[in-house]
Structure 1
Amino acid sequence: MTDYSIPRPVSGDVVDLILDDHRLFETLLREMRDSTADRAGARAAFADVLVAHGEAEEQEVYPRLRRRTEDVGEHEVEHGEEEHAEINEALLALLECVGTDTQKFDDAVERMNEVLQHHLTEEELTILNPAREDVSDDDRAQLGQKFLAARSEQLDQGCGSVENVQRLVDEARKEGLLGEDEETSEG
């Protein structure tokens, strides 16, 4: 399997859309762990959808959910942004691996999986559950359209490039979301 096309829906409930991306991340990670798969193709698709997803959440979803539900507060949003920064840092290490048949690549995939699974679990519990309970179907559909538009814009710009991910990591360091010279983050 070497066709790693990224789905581009145009509408839907924002919670369902985010969860669909979470399952896609898991599929692409599984492909990157498979030594017989097109690991480079899976890595490229993973980088694009991961960055597009995170940037769209921060631009469109987190700020609106913070205003629409009392269970998604500033702490949850800030924590989500910190975890996105850690994910981008782990992604940069993955993208900087020259080959996909090395121990360094396998280690980078393992680190990415640890950081990402932690974030997905927390986000599904502390952000998506309150959104399901407190935000109306219509608002979640409108938010889904905004999320998808921002996600598509990111994908169109090649957001998963090493250069863009490096820029995001550098910005996160300047904003204090990551340690200045950390190669890996704990949390």
Structure 2
Amino acid sequence: MSSDTDVVELILRDHRRMEDLFRTLRNVEADRAGALAEFSALLIAHARAEEEKVYPALRRYKNVDDEDVEHGVHEHQEANEALLALLRVEDTASEEWGEKLEELVTAVNHHADEEERTLLNDARENVSDERRAQLGKDFHKARSEHLAADCGSVENVRAIVESADD
């Protein structure tokens, strides 16, 4: 199966891109604001596409743990809250910005690591190549739609965080 369509590979590719962006965000010489804008859009589009297309499908497989799916949604919310806190800091050179960045890094890396060890391994073992390819197409389409809709804007991130608090 092509790594361009396998949902597991597409999710892993996003996780690796987020790690690259964290390196840029930690670099005081870099365009931190630009990297944060890309990161914010990627994180939101990625999580939304997982929650809309991937997680509901994985729930139907008996060897994929529902609790892992629920936990993934909860961790997306924690990452969104950490992202919003960082987006609210205006000075990218400030100590506060650095602190909020590390909170975001911790939340996202914890989630990505856990998701890779549980849900993605389960999907690789229990979901057919054809189904993973279809999920990959669905994930990619949803992700692209969110990116096109400027999903990483501070206003949108705030709305997502507030709606989850309800």
TM-score (norm 2): 0.96
Q: Does 1:132 align with 2:124?
A: yes
Counterparts of 1:83 and 1:145, CA distance in 2: 24
Counterparts of 1:109 and 1:58, CA distance in 2: 24
Superposed CA offset, 1:25-83 (max 9, x none): 0000110000011000000000000000000000000000111x223232111111100
Superposed CA offset, 1:9-32 (max 9, x none): xx5100000000000000001100
Q: Give yes or no for contact 2:89–2:96 (8 Å, CA) kept in 1.
A: yes
Q: Does 1:83 align with 2:60?
A: no
Superposed CA offset, 1:72-111 (max 9, x none): 2321111111000000000001111102111111011100
Match of 1:145 in 2: 137
Match of 2:56 in 1: 63
Counterparts of 1:135 and 1:23, CA distance in 2: 22
Match of 2:14 in 1: 21
Match of 2:163 in 1: 171
Runs of 4+ in 1 over 3 A off after TM superposition: none
Counterparts of 1:74 and 1:65, CA distance in 2: 8
Structure 2 residue ranges without an equivalent (≥5): none
Counterparts of 1:37 and 1:124, CA distance in 2: 29
Q: Give yes or no for contact 2:65–2:119 (8 Å, CA) kept in 1.
A: no
Counterparts of 1:96 and 1:72, CA distance in 2: 37
Counterparts of 1:163 and 1:70, CA distance in 2: 38
2:47 to 36, 44, 54: 54
Residue identity matched to 2:119 = I
Counterparts of 1:19 and 1:102, CA distance in 2: 31
Q: Does 1:102 align with 2:94?
A: yes
Counterparts of 2:62 and 2:113, CA distance in 1: 20
Counterparts of 2:18 and 2:122, CA distance in 1: 22
Counterparts of 1:154 and 1:73, CA distance in 2: 27
Q: Give yes or no for contact 2:42–2:147 (8 Å, CA) kept in 1.
A: yes
Q: Secondary structure at the match of 1:12?
A: coil
RMSD: 0.8
